[in-house]
Chains A and B, each alone.
Chain A
Amino acid sequence: MAYTEDELKKELETKEYEYGFYTDIDSETFPVGLNEDIVKAISKKKNEPKWMTDWRLDAFKTWKTMKEPEWSNLKYNKPNFQDISYYSAPKKKPDLNSLDEVDPELLKTFDKLGISLDEQKKLSGVAMDVVVDSVSVATTFKDTLEEKGIIFCSISDAIQNHPELVRKHLGTVIPKKDNYYAALNSAVFSDGSFCYIPKGVRCPMELSTYFRINQAGTGQFERTLVIADESSYVSYLEGCTAPSRDENQLHAAVVELIAHDDAEIKYSTVQNWFPGDKNGKGGVFNFVTKRGICHNRSKISWTQVETGSAVTWKYPSCILKGNNSIGEFYSIAVTNNFQQADTGTKMIHLGKNTKSTIISKGVSAGKSQNSYRGLVQVSPFAENARNFSQCDSLLMGNDCGAHTFPYIEVQNKTAQIEHEASTSKIGEDQIFYCNQRGIDTEKAIALIVNGFSKEVLNKLPMEFAVEAQKLLEISLEGSVG
């Protein structure tokens, strides 16, 4: 008898999250709980200047007065914030000059992830910063970049070595009080990446950060700050994985992008945090605030492939402050089993002749719920603002949901706003057609989903596009409906 869908499902249910291993690295982890002393201790641990400590304490004070947002289309048990350890670092936090000094266990971790740091070093044109749990452990290609005046390092190092740059920009796009998770992050962020591209410099390689939560019971709160000075260009990638665990882990990151006049920032994410098992147990809560500000004639482009996490709450946004600035958002969000995603973007048009493009592709399978939520706002001064939005949903089976919540607020009558949306299902006739051409069902789904996501995949840098395609396949295994 032909291989049935049920058999396929059964076979695939036994396949597990590929990155679910835990690495036994000697770590130093703070006791659980959050209070002023913990915030101070984190700051002290990192040997931070007083202004930074005060900044954190101010954020913490604000956070205590705030409430966790409830407006999203997500259902989950709120994390107990006193039950999390806010700092965990591989003990051998080395002052690395070369990758040879990295903890061998850690190198093994990266081998398992399919990232050979060694190869990174030698072959590819990707400079990488690696953050495990809370601490940045390795940054590659530092010297090559320094020649061009590019600063690419962990945010902790930046606070030490480039305090003026950090102090000037940190929290300017996403204020401490912006929202509940951003305030929490501002108080307790432990590490993350910092990047500065000087005037007129085109960054010669992709910059990349790899995040991983390793320790149990820890939250990850990384902070990323990318500053592109006038007429500069940078393409930045981030990737994320975590071990499989029964309890939910919290990830609340903040990413701020600043594109000065005539600068361009491309920011790409492949998010593959542990999504929970097939019964919806465990998985990462991914509550992330990402926002960029565009000055005159500058451009910020967000591209994200979201396949992981049990719950995703994330709206990478652009404030188009400068005249003739451009904001773009390209997203594929895949949910399977019991995953939930509420993701989208905000395009805030303030300057004249500002343009934004939103392409959102949601793929839902299993019993998952996938929502697009987006805001296009045109201020009274934004003459000739233009937006094009397209939100497409692809459904597999009868137990999942796709939702679209577009908000459009226009206060200037010269604005041109277009919104297109579609919902489709993978048809059995499509599958049979592929089968008849010798393409099995799993591969057929991958082909159809890749086709559906093509406009977004095309926006990813080459190195990531291949990984992203594979991820889509893995995430949807066993989802035939």
Chain B
Amino acid sequence: MLEINNLHCKIEGKPILKGVNLKINKGEIHAIMGPNGSGKSTLANVISGHEDYEITKGNIYFKGQEINELSPEDRAHEGVFLSFQYPVEIPGVTVTNFIKTAINESRKAKGIDEMPSSEMLKKIRAKASLLEIDSNFLSRSLNQGFSGGEKKRNEIFQMAMMEPELAVLDETDSGLDIDALKIVANGVVKCSHEDNSVIVITHYQRLLDYIVPDFVHIIMDGKVVKSGDKNLAKKIEEVGYDWLKKEKS
């Protein structure tokens, strides 16, 4: 699904990623952890094609195709989805209108007709109930005045609607209370199946109790320094990152 080879990247001239390697197969869930400023969010942004991040070395392959030069919208059309750490507000554009536009733009790019309204509505209802979202929410302006929890729930709702092949969840658990966390995590689990893959970026093991990863990677100073299974996340939760720094040096 996704293969990243020796990826280096800079933002405003400052190197952030310094040789990341990562391979994710269909149907797998990977967790990425690491201290603040280690490059986790940068990795999420680079995968989704943010233009402020300049790739200086290495490659990203998605479904076997190199996507280094692909625009963010083309990557989205191909099936890459990013759940934003800080979702932006778009006043006057309802959640429904936004998701409808997003879905139809992707269909247009693939030469498919717009989704009929009845089908769209049915899908919206199904996915909204999955995330316990009520219909008032859908007619509010996108992220405007949303609580932290509502914003994240809305991100996962969009993911559920767009059915991406690769979902990158950037600190989706931050700002969530325990009930909201469960709803959001269950939503992710229900959407994941053998043909799609998920990258979960998080600081906390807590989320991984619900979204159980097949692999856990630790990023430090722009590199994957350790990979393992879900037990690696548990160890980090207990003892922190210091031992890895020592191991590294």
Contacts and interface: CB of A to CB of B under 8 A. Distances in A.
A117 B215 CA distance: 66
A178 interface: no
A451 B69 CA distance: 31
A447 B93 contact: yes
B82 A436 contact: yes
A451 B73 contact: no
A440 interface: yes
B126 interface: no
A433 B48 CA distance: 10
B72 interface: yes
Contacts of B87: 433
Contacts of A433: 84, 87-88, 90
Interface string A167-195: 00000000000000000000000000000
Contacts of A432: 50-51, 72
Interface in A445-461: 447-448, 450-455
A436 B48 contact: yes
B107 to A, nearest CB: 9
Interface string A1-31: 1111000000000000000000000000000
Given A4-B51, A433-B84, A436-B82, A452 B91 contact: yes
A69 interface: no
Interface residues of B, number: 34
Contacts of B50: 432
Contacts of A2: 49, 51, 69-72
B102 interface: yes
Interface string A412-436: 0000000000000001011011111
Contact of A439 (B88, B89, B102): B102
Nearest to A433: B88
B38 to A, nearest CB: 22
B33 interface: no
B6 interface: no
B225 interface: no
Given A436-B48, A437-B98, A453 B92 contact: yes
Among A1, A3, A440, A450, max chain B CB count under 10 A is at A440
A438 interface: yes
Contacts of A450: 92-93
Interface string B168-211: 00000000000000000000000000000000000000000000
A121 interface: no
Contacts of A438: 73, 76-77, 102-103, 105-106, 109, 162
B3 to A, nearest CB: 20
A278 interface: no
Contacts of B102: 434, 437-439
A281 interface: no
B105 A439 contact: yes
B141 interface: yes
A403 interface: no
A436 B97 CA distance: 16
Contacts of A427: 88
A40 interface: no
Contact of B90 (A436, A440, A451, A453): A451
B41 interface: no
Which 9 A-B residue pairs are closest in the complex by CB-CB distance?
Answer: A451-B92, A438-B76, A451-B93, A2-B71, A435-B72, A437-B102, A454-B92, A438-B106, A433-B88
Given A433-B87, A436-B49, A447-B93, 11 more contacts: A436-B48, A436-B72, A438-B76, A438-B105, A439-B73, A439-B102, A440-B71, A447-B101, A448-B90, A451-B142, A454-B93
